[in-house]
Structure 1
Amino acid sequence: MAEETKPQTLNPPTIPTPPPTYSQVSTTPLLPTSKLITLAGQVGLDPTTHTVPSDFDAQVRLSYQNILLALQAVHATPRDIIFVRHYIVKDTGRVGVKSEEELTEVWGRLWIEFMDKEGEGHRPPDTVVGVAALATAALAYECEVWAITHG
């Protein structure tokens, strides 16, 4: 198979550099003019200071900024997202809420704000997963997205 039909990976310089075990972004040609974009889970790690804020909402906002920058690196936008998976550490008290209204108020409002501003109000399917821990103890939230671009 020709190299241009194989998945290609990259680490955009605008987002945190990952460990050597993976790349932050993968693009896979689907058709001559379309590609599938998968991002590694983006976390609230500041790419310039290499620090994680202790505030949950600040981590979430930074995760979304890293998603935006990763998508921009491959000429995509949040409007191109086709699937989202949110991972939330259970002991943050941000998962296992009792109602949809509570879920939206707790962290979903930040996703809605992000998608309204950057994704033209697009609401792709998503899954929310409560987890015991993420890669480091400081992380409380991680967001993974898939996107497709045409043209």
Structure 2
Amino acid sequence: MINPPQNRETYDRFHYSAATRVGDMIWVSGQVGLDPATHTLGQGMEAQSRLAFENLKTVLAAAGATMADIVEIVTFHLDMHGSDIQAFVKIKDEYVPDRYPAWTAVGVTHLVNPDYLVEIRAVAVAHCGAG
């Protein structure tokens, strides 16, 4: 179980780990656009996407991996057809600029908090560099 300090409250409250590592395989639970230090939500899709990717990056680092080790992402979006998906792709490409992992984008009617716009879960293989 991988639980960076900023995820401890979530682990205690909801009884799940930020990630699970078995060998070099790492499964990362859904990450959202919430700043773990201030508990504030990013305003708009770009801000929430950036925070979600930063949270993903932090969890991967705690598991001994990097963003380059991601082999799959699954994202959950409230808006699959408007400007939100375009804003998400722009931020995604900043965090994963090449060696693109497999990606499944799912449209949903709501997430756990009605103000969340996106959630990202990932699978990584430590030290693979996705290559």
Settle same-fold status: TM greater than 0.5.
yes
Unaligned runs of 5+ in 2: none
Mapped partners of 2:46, 2:55: distance in 1: 14
The answer (yes or no) to whether the contact 2:31–2:52 under 8 Å persists in 1 is yes
Structure 1 partner of 2:74: 85
Unaligned runs of 5+ in 1: 1-8, 30-34
| Secondary structure in structure 1 of the residue aligned to 2:53 | helix
- List structure 1 segments (4+ residues) > 3 angstroms apart after TM superposition: 14-17, 102-106
Structure 2 partner of 1:64: 53
Mapped partners of 2:9, 2:3: distance in 1: 7
Deviation at 1:15, TM superposition (A): 4.8
Q: Deviations over 1:68-111 (max 9, x none)?
A: 1111111100111111001011xxxx3035xxxx7873321110
Structure 1 partner of 2:18: 24
| Secondary structure in structure 2 of the residue aligned to 1:41 | strand
Deviation at 1:139, TM superposition (A): 0.7
User: Identical aligned pairs, as a percentage?
Assistant: 29
Q: What's the TM-score once normalised by structure 1's chain length?
A: 0.75
Deviation at 1:150, TM superposition (A): 4.6
- Size of the alignment, in residue pairs? 126
| Secondary structure in structure 2 of the residue aligned to 1:10 | coil
Q: What's the TM-score once normalised by structure 2's chain length?
A: 0.86
